Structure 1
């Protein structure tokens, strides 16, 4: 693989890789480190790229494996549990009460998603945030399509049920 090919095919998917790593690790610096390691790994394994059907899925799988290794290591500690993607600035909202309520709901949703088992969290991230197809998710996670659909359904159902419990019963 030439440098130009690397820049044209791998570098454009870097923001998706970063969002995925950040979602798994909940830490900006660690996500940047993982992306750096992943890009180096892709570069060093460039001879495999000719046989790949989906370069993006392969890169996502590398990021996932590196992030999971980081999470499993004893050195890793999550220092920032707030997900900045759900934050909204009240100054841009016509009604500050509405903005505060939306921010509160988004915070709850992110806390619920972060409390899900890792495979559910990952599938929701890939499908609902990054917009990957079921087949791409199956390739990234090395699952079959029915497992992806079942796990996504279960993850969404768990989030929905917990939100309903909060709304109806005030349970946290």
Structure 2
């Protein structure tokens, strides 16, 4: 297949690929990269493209799978970073105590939050779930999840600031 023929097939739904990637990856840059990578994958399979009854549906499936793979890589990388921070033997005993103390305070503050905010904070900031997944899990709209998360973070921040200011003075 010639390049122009391929582009004529792909161009009508190229924006849909981008929008799906943006929704799954939530970053414009990551979505642009994903769109380019998906189009390259499709180009590498251009000899088989005419075999698909619905090329657009196939392209969207490739996009979804690519984005999920990227999210898994991102989560694994985040976990590796977290584990590296905790496994690092070079962290001083003082710093380890500070981190432990900070985590205890956060856990105590979390207990004072409404159950819904606790769950959303856990899912997003600890478990690293995407907002779309949290909406499904919590059976809530995106806006409500974002508001609840914002309130939870604000309460934690205010409580930590208050604790630290009392501890200093």
- Provide the TM-score with structure 1 as the length reference: 0.47
Higher RCO (CA 8 Å, separation ≥ 6 residues) = 1
Q: Which has the larger radius of gyration?
A: 2
Task: Decide which structure has greater helix share.
Answer: 2
